[in-house]
Amino acid sequence: MRFVPQFTDGQAFPYELGKVVCVGRNYADHAKELDNPVPTQPLLFIKPATSVVDIQQPLSPPFQRGDVHYETELALLIGKTISDATPDEASAAIVGLGLALDLTLRDVQTELKDKGHPWEVAKAFDGACPLSPFLPLSREPNWNALSFKLEIDGEERQHGEGADMIFTIPTLVAEMSRHFTLEAGDVILTGTPSGVGELPRGATLHMTLTGGLDITTSVVE
């Protein structure tokens, strides 16, 4: 059954979940920790709707396929169709703020990269995008002031600030709309800060976002 986007205030979102458009290396510190060059333009990829699961349910990624790494990201819910948008138009199309985990089969990804092959199977598998409910937006926030954190078993692992993104949210979403028409129900993942690592079996994850989003979940043993 396809995941249905939800707002934290209980209001219904009138569109089905669409695609998830993601960006790699949108924080310079994360690019450096993976020994990757800092990009001069957004590195985009897509996760299908079938990759999305409720982040509040126990997470059960395919550990049998090798190391699973977590990447905590600010998620944006798109509320209307935009194509080749300006940054202002892109910003106005965002109707919700949430959190997501971009789960990565790191061993699989590394092997595919070494061979020069596409690596969608390492990023787009079923369950690869645990997603939270969305804080509804009634007006444009201060994107640079947004802040989120991930704790694993009580230890802070990641801390992201909107001001530290290489590509600002309006610029990023506008650029995405140049390549892919964005529709109501699509979700944008905005990149992960430094601190990514292996997702531990049996761990408790606690995630917070500016504005009152507070999520606790667990990983299967």
Counting the structural domains of the chain, the total is 1
Q: Indicate whether 88 belongs to any domain.
A: yes
CA 53 – CA 85 distance, rounded (Å): 29
Per-residue model confidence as pLDDT tens digits over 26-37: 997 765 666 667
Q: Indicate whether 184 belongs to any domain.
A: yes
Residues in the chain, overall count: 221
Task: Report which residue type is found at 84.
Answer: D
CATH code: domain of residue 82: 3.90.850.10
Q: Indicate whether 3 belongs to any domain.
A: no
Per-residue model confidence as pLDDT tens digits over 98-133: 999 999 999 999 999 899 999 899 999 999 999 999
Q: Indicate whether 84 belongs to any domain.
A: yes
